[in-house]
Amino acid sequence: MKPHAHTAFLLLGSNLGDRVVTLHRALLALAEKGGRLVAVSGVYETAAWGQEAQPAFLNQAVQLSTDLTPEQLLAACQQVEADLGRERLELWGPRTLDVDILFYDNLVLQTAELTIPHPRLPERLFALVPLADIATAYVHPQLGKSVADLLADCPDKLPVEPWFGAM
């Protein structure tokens, strides 16, 4: 089995329906459509960010080994979201599944459809905490800070708690 050419870090989030089942199905679908799962963080229950008057999220970070280009990976992530019932009704609104590309190798990319690294990662505790489970030493290619340093410097104070429900 040949190794995949690229490493991507993704964040999964769900706050509608059976959140943990959705995350599990998303992992299976990403492995099928996106590449090989290398590492998966713990699951965290997090307060909604941006629009706080909605149900809490379950979030999980994933390291994926992939042969897809960033644009193909985005399309695969959006297909997984759609397959699992994602409807894009309002910015930062409730959703069955959200899949964000946080990093793709050491690439810095900004197009109309995709920005890598994820532009709001340094200010989002709900993304940094699970990412730190699997990529503590990974260095942000623009900021030159490790995930651990980004986590230590994060201004976000919304609660992020380990989730111990049944998988």
Q: Is 86 a catalytic residue?
A: yes
Is the CB of residue 106 less than 8 Å from the CB of residue 95?
no
Catalytic residue among 100, 124, 149, 156, which?
Answer: 100
Q: Is 120 a catalytic residue?
A: no
Please list the alpha-helical segments (H only) found in 113-160: 125-135, 147-153
Catalytic residue among 86, 105, 124, 133, which?
Answer: 86
Nearest to 161 by CA among 126, 136, 134, 128: 126
Is the CB of residue 102 less than 8 Å from the CB of residue 150?
no
Q: Is 88 a catalytic residue?
A: no
Residue type, 2: K
Catalytic residue among 98, 105, 120, 156, which?
Answer: 98
Q: Is 25 a catalytic residue?
A: no
Structure tokens at 27: 């992992």
Catalytic residue among 19, 25, 95, 124, which?
Answer: 95
Which residues form the catalytic set?
86, 95, 98, 100
